[in-house]
Amino acid sequence: MQEGWSTEKERRQANPGYEWDGVYQDVTDRFAGFSNVEVVKGIVPDIFDEVLPDNIAFLHLDLNAGEAEIAALDRLLPHLSDGAMVVLDDFGRLEQQDLCYAHEAWWRAHGHTILELPTGQGLVIFRKDAV
């Protein structure tokens, strides 16, 4: 979690098990058999200055940092297809309350509501005419 994109509280809550030597290679190996997948190494949302998909039908955000997730949404919104499914990973988790509030405000400002799923995730079905 990058200091510029996360709070001290968010960094304290981060699971250190998600960082290990070779993570990029492990991910690249996992998706090697899928010709339609491109693994890109970088910091979200900064990497979007270099690589950004044209059309997104499914987006799963799991950065555990409100500022980073909102900045990512700002960059990705124009690329969402009408009817795109957007999953917000930790939306309903009590320890991620700040993340929840950030998403609620952002999506409301963009004409959408979030469905909280029993898994603690949030789901948005994106409609271009709502923006």
- At residue 12, the pLDDT reads 65
pLDDT tens per residue across span 59-102 = 999 887 788 899 999 999 999 999 999 999 988 877 788 889 99
The domain spanning residue 74 has which CATH number? 3.40.50.150
**Single pTM value for the model:** 0.82
pLDDT tens per residue across span 11-21 = 566 666 656 67
Question: Which residue segment(s) compose the domain that 15 sits in?
Answer: 3-130
Cα 3 to Cα 10, 20, 33, 46, 82, distances in angstroms: 10, 19, 34, 13, 33
pLDDT at 116 over 80: yes
Q: How many whole angstroms separate alpha carbon 97 and alpha carbon 80?
A: 25
What is the number of domains present in the chain?
Answer: 1
Cβ pair 126, 78 in contact under 8 A: no
- At residue 64, the pLDDT reads 79
- At residue 96, the pLDDT reads 80
Q: How many whole angstroms separate alpha carbon 87 and alpha carbon 73?
A: 12
- At residue 17, the pLDDT reads 64
